[in-house]
Each structure stands twice: as C-alpha cells, then as structure tokens.
Amino acid sequence: MQVPPFSLSKQLLELRPELEEAVLSVLHSGHYIGGKEVSTFEESFASSVGVPYAVGCNSGTDALILALRALDIGPGDEVITCSFSFFATAEAISAVGAKPVFVDVSRDDYLINLYEVEKVITPASRCILPVHLFGCPVNMEHVIRLATKFNLKVIEDCAQACGTKWNGRPVGSWGDIGCFSFFPTKNLGAAGDGGAITTNDDLIAQRVRELAIHGMPRRYLHTNLGYNSRLDAIQAAILNVKLPCLNQWIKQRQVVADRYLDFLKDIPGIEMPDISIRTGMVHSWNQFVVKVNNINFQKSNTTIQSFWESFGDSNNPRDILKVKLSDQGINTIIYYPIPIHLQPAYDNLNHKEGDLPVTEQLCKEVLSLPIFPEITYEEQDHVISVLQSLFL
C-alpha cells in the first residue's frame, strides 16, 4: 500500500463541480484582478478569523513582507522570531531590511520559547513574530504581555495555522497583524499561490492594501514604494468554495492526530508531540511531527542508495526510519532538516552550531507522518502497524 504524506485527490473529487464552476465563471467574466470574488473572500475570511479586516495578497511570504512594511519595520530594526520554521519567516524580515533575531524553541511543542525572548531584547527590537508551527498555537496572552512590556509590535505567522485557536480566539486575531498562506498544502489551500493578512486596525488594513498595489492610494498617485501582490480572482473563487469546508477538515485532521497519539504513544523509539491541550485551544494539525532519537530497530541493509546520496545520514535513526517507511510505501517529510540560522543564505549573521541547541537537535530528529483530512483509516493503520512492527 502506498500512503502519501499529503494528497488533494479526494478533496478535488468531492468539490469538483463547485470548483470547476467557480473557476470557469471567473474565466468567462473577464474580470481577473480584484472584483467580487476577492472582496467576498476577504470578508468571509476576516469573519472566520474574527477580525474586521482581511486583505488578500500573492502569498504567505508577501503577507509577512507587507505586514512588516505596514508597521514601518525596516533597516536598523530587529524582529524576534524562531529559527525552527519555514525559511520565509526570516526571509521576509530580511526582505524589508530588518534583522531576524532568533530564539530557541521548546522541545515539547516545537514553538518559540517565550522565556528566551527577554534575553535578546535590545533598543533596536521592534517586533515579535511568533510562528504557529504545524498548526499549534503559540501562547498569545504571553506574547501580548511581552509586547506590551517591551513596546513591541506583534506579527503572527499563521501560514500553517488556518483554523487554529488560542483560548477560544482564532490565531491571526491576537497580534497587530496575522499572516496567512493559501499554498496548496496548507489547511486552506488555493490552486497555486495566495495569501492574506488579517487585522483589527483599519489604518493597517489600508496601508497593506496600498503597499500591495504599488503604494498607490488612488490611481497613479504613489505615496510609497510598494509591491504588486494580489490574490488572483480565480484563486479567490476557489477559496470561496473551500472556506466553508475548513472547520470540517480540521475536525478530520484532529481525528487523525488523536489516533496517532493513541496508537503510537507506547512505541519506545518515537516521541509524540507533547501538546498540553488547554481550554479553548484548537490545534489544526497541518503536520503531525514526531521525534525519532532512539535506534531500537535493526539497521536496514536494504537502504535505498539514491536516498543517502541526495539526503540523509546513515547513522541518524530518523533518517534510517524514513527510508524503512518509504520501503513500505509510507512517504514522510522532514520539516525542517536545516535550521534557518545555519542556512548558507544567513552566513552573514555569523551563527554557529550550538547557538540554538533545541532547534538544532529537532532538525536531526523530526519526521512528519502522513496527515490530511481525507486520509483513510486503512492508510493510517498501515502507517501505525509498520511503525509498531519496526519498533516492538
């Protein structure tokens, strides 16, 4: 049996008539930029996040860049974030000329360790940028307390956390700005790139809107150097079909996650994510990430040679397990194998191994098991029984 890490095929089959109608109606309308589909989506997305304003843009990366620019963050400013994330989190900070300042994450839930934040505050600190990684919410009350104490702005990276809540309130509604991605593998995926910012502040919404269209508050008057970053009408039409399904999809992801937590918890070689579920918390499980650090199984002599050549370390239990699973048709992904602070692109920050020990250790241990709303019990049972047979 083949189990993919992620698949859209069942969702596409279920929604096919509505999606085709939505796409064709935009195509035939001739209105491809802006228009009713975009404004409808912005309104319903804002209301799903519980804020008055959402502004669509071209990607989650652009949402982060637009958010930083809208808060006037740029050269000379420092933005505090984590290095255990997708590269775009830091890349956006650098793109506006600011400096990413990384703090370590906590090993249990993979999220920014808020107790480390105070240690890196300097007079140049302007903003804290927590990442709701894998769909798990950062403690936003703690973030807001820090931001108030040190007079920092808050931008939430919600790219993997559409539908996530902290204390009953959706992520993206807590900070000054929330940044979302509609990349196809995220919880709410378009048929291509797309993104949005959310905010409670009408001036911020207006600033993002202008920056996203060449810094142009009215036609051919340019008050800022901006970007060309819009959510396409066709993508908005697709998202209008999908948004009403989001809550159901998240419930399905939770069922899958609960089954993994249940059936894998006694396997000695793999460590479950330790999510302390609190009242009002909704984990949207964009990824189900375990830690593999214990070589309790026989080393394989049937390893796929090409795998070791392209990636991996034949002495790392996680990498060995990844190959063994793939031998049995189970395809897993490593989010993320190299921490951002040690990426060659950030040589200029002069980080060295050991700077962020938890982050660096996680990059050697994490493995994402197949999870998506439509994964069947049969497929998931295959993953579970192969893991059990390898370890027990």
Ligand X SMILES: *Cc1c(COP(=O)(O)O)cnc(C)c1O
The site for ligand X (CB under 6 A) is made up of 59-61, 85-86, 88-89, 131, 157, 159-160, 181, 183, 193, 195
What is the 3 state secondary structure string of 283-319?
CCCCCEEEEECCCCCCCCCCCCHHHHHHCCCCCCHHH
Q: How many CB atoms lie within 10 A of CB 196?
A: 32
Name the minimum Å distance from CB 349 to ligand X: 19
Find the angle CA(45)-CA(162)-CA(262) to the nearest 5 degrees: 145
Name the minimum Å distance from CB 385 to ligand X: 30
Q: Which lies closer to ligand X via its Cβ, residue 200 or residue 286?
A: 286
Query: What percent helix, strand, coil does the chain show, rounded to 5?
Result: 45, 15, 40
Q: Which lies closer to ligand X via its Cβ, residue 61 or residue 198?
A: 61
Q: How many CB atoms lie within 10 A of CB 168?
A: 10
d(CA 286, CA 182): 12
Q: Which lies closer to ligand X via its Cβ, residue 48 or residue 187?
A: 187
d(CA 298, CA 119): 43
| Burial of residue 298 (number of CB atoms within 10 Å: 0-12, 13-18, 19+) | exposed
Q: Which lies closer to ligand X via its Cβ, residue 112 or residue 387?
A: 112
Q: Which lies closer to ligand X via its Cβ, residue 90 or residue 237?
A: 90
Q: Which lies closer to ligand X via its Cβ, residue 100 or residue 317?
A: 100
d(CA 362, CA 337): 8
Q: Which lies closer to ligand X via its Cβ, residue 181 or residue 332?
A: 181
Name the minimum Å distance from CB 284 to ligand X: 12
Tokens 């000379």, residue located? 76
Name the minimum Å distance from CB 133 to ligand X: 6
Q: Max Cα separation, the chain?
A: 68
d(CA 271, CA 13): 35
Name the minimum Å distance from CB 134 to ligand X: 9
Q: Which lies closer to ligand X via its Cβ, residue 231 or residue 387?
A: 231
Q: Which lies closer to ligand X via its Cβ, residue 234 or residue 387?
A: 234
Name the minimum Å distance from CB 21 to ligand X: 25
Name the minimum Å distance from CB 329 to ligand X: 26
Q: Which lies closer to ligand X via its Cβ, residue 60 or residue 163?
A: 60
Sign of CA pseudo-dihedral 357, 363, 364, 365: positive
d(CA 83, CA 65): 17
Name the minimum Å distance from CB 88 to ligand X: 4
Q: Strands, E, within the chain: which ranges?
A: 53-57, 78-82, 99-103, 125-128, 153-157, 165-166, 169-170, 177-181, 195-199, 270-271, 288-292, 366-369
Name the minimum Å distance from CB 230 to ligand X: 14
Query: What residue is closest to ligand X based on CB?
Result: 60
Bridge partners for 58 per DSSP: none
d(CA 299, CA 289): 22
Name the minimum Å distance from CB 204 to ligand X: 19
Bridge partners for 197 per DSSP: 55, 179
